[in-house]
Structure 1
Amino acid sequence: MKQRIVRPVIQFLTKVKIQYKILGLVVGVVALLTSMMVWQMGNVLTTNLRDQLDKRAVSIGSDVAARATNDLLINNTYSVYEMIKETVKNNQDALYIFIVDPQGNVLAHTFGDAFPAELLKANPVDSKEKYHLTAFRTEVGVVRDVAVPILNGKLGTARVGMGEQGLRKAVLSMVWSFLAIALFVSAVGIIAAVILTRVLTHPIRDLVSLTQKVAQGDLKVQGIVHSEDEIGVLTKAFNQMTTSLSENDLEREELLLQLREKEEMRLQLLEKLITAQEEERKRISRELHDETSQALTSLMVNLKVLESEASFCNVGDRLREMRQLVSETLDEVHHLARDLRPSVLDDLGLVPALERYVREYGQTYGIEADFHNMGFDGQRVSAPAEVALYRIIQEALTNVAKYANAQTVSVLLDWRKDWVSAIVEDDGRGFDPEKVITGPSHGLGLFGMQERATLLGGTFRIESQPSKGTTIFIKVPAKSDFEV
């Protein structure tokens, strides 16, 4: 049952705006304090006025008892009646006064013709008491009744009844006055609370609006710092957050742009690799058909001719031609195999393979090429590192031959600890690496070289300027199991 009541209340409060929560809290506290103060004030006033009323009743009763003594001694009841009648007239809160003799007979009273007999036993008093005070409820309300013995009870008892109507009117008047003042003060407090909540929640509403803009993707928004309190600190923290997010967003955009560019280059590189593979297959097929196939066909024709030759001299000449043809065919096959994958790389390692390749490269392109290595001491790096370095250096030297117009080129291979570094340097015309790499498709060769090094966990760097040559730095781990 409690959960059914409490849970909806909590859900409702969570949906209420903070300014209404603050305002409701202030109004509730003000209303509670006002009610408690009015209630407490009414109680205090009632108690104090009732005490005063009791004291007045005792005072009037004692005065009546003293003044009635002489008249009672001479049995002048009429004078006693006039005296109590005058006393009731002069005291607004006095409802009645009557005097009874020691036997309980009423000697004088202010009730007119009908005296309420039940009052005689309502407030008994002992002759030894100075007075006896009691309160009882009647048709006209609560009555404060005081019984005062006359001459120690020998002449009877004086009874005075004081009503609380005047007391209640005084209390209500003072309570209403206080309530009016309290309501005025509460109204001022509520108005101040409304203004204060608006002042306090205005920056919060601004932050909410700015947060919604951030959620929509606007990371350049900034809040206005109105004060140096907690809300001001929160606004500063929000501004720092949006600034950081904006900077991170720019970095993300740059990274995404780089990733897209790399992905485009990967796709172009893949397309180029597929195209290169097909072109290589066409070339091998064409060379096999044009060279090897024709050479084998020529051998078959010569063998057929040998069957019909009768002269030994003619047979010798034919055999020499056939041996020359076989030698040339074998060279072509070796050349094709070496272009596809040099066997010396698998058999002897990276250093001998590069030595042979650089030597043949210089002879083929007419470029003065030299090769140096350090730190190998007959040892071999891992097969993936050998293949990657060989292909990267091969591509670099091919680019030198195609584009650099260089006279000399140097290749340096250095093995230090767990890393192998390679440097390819030429004295060609150089270029702007940034423009070439970011070009539409001109940087695919360089991108492929960089990818090979990156896949092994290495680095690839180019230093070049127009008319100042080019230097390529490659660094890869000596031991790697990643195939490239």
Structure 2
Amino acid sequence: MIKLNIRQKIFITILASLFSLAILLGWIIWDSLTNMLREDLINRGNNIAIHISETSSDYILFDDNYAVHQLISETHQLNEDVRYIMILDSSGAVYEHTFPDFLPKGITNAHTYSDDNTSNTKSISSDEGTIQDIIVPIEDGEVGYVRIGMSEEQANQYIFSKMIELLIVTLVVALVATGIAYIISRRITSPIQRLVHVASGISAGDLSLRVKNIKKDEVGELASTFNEMADNLINSHNQIDTLLKELQEKEKLRSKLILKLLSVQEDERRRISRELHDETSQALTSLMVTMRVLANEAKDEEQQQLLYTSRDIAADILRQIRDLAVDLRPPILDNMGIVSAVKTYVKDFNEKYDVDTFFYTSVTEIKEIDDNATLAIYRIVQESLNNVIKHTEATKVEVTLTIEDNHIKLIITDNGQGIKETDFMKAQAQNRIGIHGMKERVEVQGGSFSIQTNQQGGTEIIVTLPLQ
């Protein structure tokens, strides 16, 4: 489909209107000239027939065929539009005619006189075109009738010549109108095209463009309004830039605060882990040794059994404290790296809970990773596996850690009941920020975090973090 601009549309509309008007006027002129010339032809034919009927009456009564023939022959020669003249007797038989050799077949019966016919004129088709056949009675038909055939050929040639002249005039007017249409369309569309050019430039980002040479018309008012809109757009753009910069600064500060908070949190975890491991564990160990000594020295068997039981309870508490210390800050994370730490945590999780947990990785260790990213991955694995126990009915969990396109990719998927939008709303209502905390950890590192339902109907967490 051809796409036309406004100038072309205006130009084509003017030309189409002009040619439509020319066609309409041509048809009106053709129809008017045809009717007018036909009426004139019939009137002249009537006058000629009346003249012949008045003149030939005496010739027919005295049976002077030569005078009748001479009369109609001279009349035929003097009038170019007269195709033929026939004199009929009172019975309708041909008395004289102007045909050179013989009467055409059917010409006699082609038209007959009728008293109730007001015009006594009939159009007859012939090889030479339409013939207007006119009948005029001689002495009210008692002597005979005069039939004259008036040809429209001369009239048609005249009309055709006038239509040629009209066509030439129309072409000249069309050429002039084409120039006028071009000038008018250009004067109308040039301001609009300038306005479109400026609008396209502003849309492309050049806010300094303005419409110039504004005239005092509707398009000029539109251009002035557009310029005002562009000025307002610059002001709005500047305000947006200012707000955006402020927002970016606040976002940077927020990220720094989150990182600082996470760092402080990890430092506190490390300190508590160390205190639990060093001080609390040592105190419990001393307590266990003391209980064992007391149990060995006890003389009462009941007291000895009570001390052994207390020692076992203290030993169980010691194991729980050591597990808690490891969860708070696993030493393997600092000593062996993230891959070994995740592998060990998954192994311990698999032994502790009745869930088949598998760890897949294609790397032995990741050196191009900072402490914040290491902690983020470990805490996400820790939080995700804890959520599997608390909130799903999964029997199988897979943890995958790979490097793709200079990024660390962590995928945790299970075959549980999946996660729904209502689960997020419920967690938010209960102030559970586990998923939100995982997402925050990733985003402050410049990574991406997504959680969705996998093809098996379970939950799938995908984490991507950039390497250093």
2:190 matched residue in structure 1: 202
What do the CA deviations read for 1:394-421 (whole angstroms, capped 9, x no partner)? Answer: xxxxxxxxxxxxxxxxxxxxxxxxxxxx
CA distance in 2 between partners of 1:215 and 1:128 (Å):
83
1:153 matched residue in structure 2: 141
Task: Give the deviation of 1:61 after TM superposition.
Answer: 0.6
CA distance in 2 between partners of 1:131 and 1:216 (Å):
80
The counterpart of 1:106, out of the listed 94, 118, 123, is: 94
**Preserved contact between residue 145 and residue 159 of structure 1 (Cα < 8 Å):** yes
1:125 has 2:85 as partner: no
Task: Give the deviation of 1:51 after TM superposition.
Answer: 0.7
1:68 has 2:51 as partner: no
Report the residue type matching 1:239 in the other structure. N
1:249 matched residue in structure 2: 237
Task: Give the deviation of 1:254 after TM superposition.
Answer: 2.2
Task: Give the deviation of 1:120 after TM superposition.
Answer: 1.8
**Preserved contact between residue 128 and residue 152 of structure 1 (Cα < 8 Å):** no
**Preserved contact between residue 127 and residue 153 of structure 1 (Cα < 8 Å):** no
CA distance in 1 between partners of 2:265 and 2:120 (Å):
128
**Preserved contact between residue 219 and residue 242 of structure 1 (Cα < 8 Å):** yes
CA distance in 1 between partners of 2:117 and 2:232 (Å):
91
CA distance in 2 between partners of 1:32 and 1:256 (Å):
60
2:273 matched residue in structure 1: none
**Preserved contact between residue 129 and residue 149 of structure 1 (Cα < 8 Å):** no
Q: CA RMSD in A?
A: 3.0
Task: Give the deviation of 1:224 after TM superposition.
Answer: 1.6
Task: Give the deviation of 1:156 after TM superposition.
Answer: 1.0
The DSSP-based 3-state class of the residue aligned with 2:125 is strand
Task: Give the deviation of 1:158 after TM superposition.
Answer: 0.9
The counterpart of 1:90, out of the listed 62, 65, 78, is: 78
TM-score for the superposition, normalised by structure 1: 0.51
CA distance in 2 between partners of 1:241 and 1:258 (Å):
25
1:222 has 2:222 as partner: no
1:29 matched residue in structure 2: 17
TM-score for the superposition, normalised by structure 2: 0.53
**Preserved contact between residue 214 and residue 224 of structure 2 (Cα < 8 Å):** no
**Preserved contact between residue 71 and residue 79 of structure 1 (Cα < 8 Å):** yes
Report the residue type matching 2:92 in the other structure. G
Structure 1, gaps ≥5 residues long: 1-11, 282-484
CA distance in 2 between partners of 1:233 and 1:185 (Å):
34
1:78 has 2:73 as partner: no
What do the CA deviations read for 1:20-57 (whole angstroms, capped 9, x no partner)? Answer: 22222222222222111111211111011101111111
Task: Give the deviation of 1:265 after TM superposition.
Answer: 5.1
Aligned pairs for 1:313-324 (under 5 A) are none
2:223 matched residue in structure 1: 235
Greater Cα shift, 205-214 or 250-259: 250-259
Task: Give the deviation of 1:278 after TM superposition.
Answer: 11
Q: Which has the larger radius of gyration?
A: 1
Structure 2, gaps ≥5 residues long: 270-468
Change (3 A) 1:241 1:18: same
Task: Give the deviation of 1:266 after TM superposition.
Answer: 5.2
Task: Give the deviation of 1:246 after TM superposition.
Answer: 0.7
CA distance in 2 between partners of 1:122 and 1:279 (Å):
126
Greater Cα shift, 216-225 or 92-101: 216-225
CA distance in 2 between partners of 1:218 and 1:135 (Å):
77
Report the residue type matching 1:136 in the other structure. I
Report the residue type matching 2:71 in the other structure. M
CA distance in 2 between partners of 1:229 and 1:255 (Å):
39
The DSSP-based 3-state class of the residue aligned with 1:124 is coil
Report the residue type matching 2:227 in the other structure. N
Task: Give the deviation of 1:71 after TM superposition.
Answer: 1.7
The DSSP-based 3-state class of the residue aligned with 1:142 is strand
CA distance in 2 between partners of 1:251 and 1:220 (Å):
16
Report the residue type matching 1:96 in the other structure. Y
CA distance in 2 between partners of 1:148 and 1:217 (Å):
90
CA distance in 2 between partners of 1:34 and 1:207 (Å):
36
CA distance in 2 between partners of 1:37 and 1:249 (Å):
59
CA distance in 2 between partners of 1:36 and 1:168 (Å):
19
CA distance in 2 between partners of 1:91 and 1:118 (Å):
24
Aligned pairs for 1:42-441 (under 5 A) are 42-116=30-104, 118-126=106-114, 132-264=120-252
Task: Give the deviation of 1:70 after TM superposition.
Answer: 2.0
Task: Give the deviation of 1:168 after TM superposition.
Answer: 0.6
**Preserved contact between residue 52 and residue 146 of structure 2 (Cα < 8 Å):** yes
Report the residue type matching 1:153 in the other structure. G
What do the CA deviations read for 1:50-80 (whole angstroms, capped 9, x no partner)? Answer: 0111111111110111111122222221111
Task: Give the deviation of 1:93 after TM superposition.
Answer: 0.4
CA distance in 2 between partners of 1:247 and 1:127 (Å):
95
Aligned pairs for 1:448-467 (under 5 A) are none
The DSSP-based 3-state class of the residue aligned with 1:98 is strand
Report the residue type matching 2:5 in the other structure. K
Percent sequence identity over aligned pairs: 30
Report the residue type matching 1:67 in the other structure. T
Task: Give the deviation of 1:113 after TM superposition.
Answer: 2.3
Change (3 A) 1:272 1:103: closer
Task: Give the deviation of 1:105 after TM superposition.
Answer: 3.3
CA distance in 2 between partners of 1:132 and 1:274 (Å):
118
Report the residue type matching 1:191 in the other structure. G
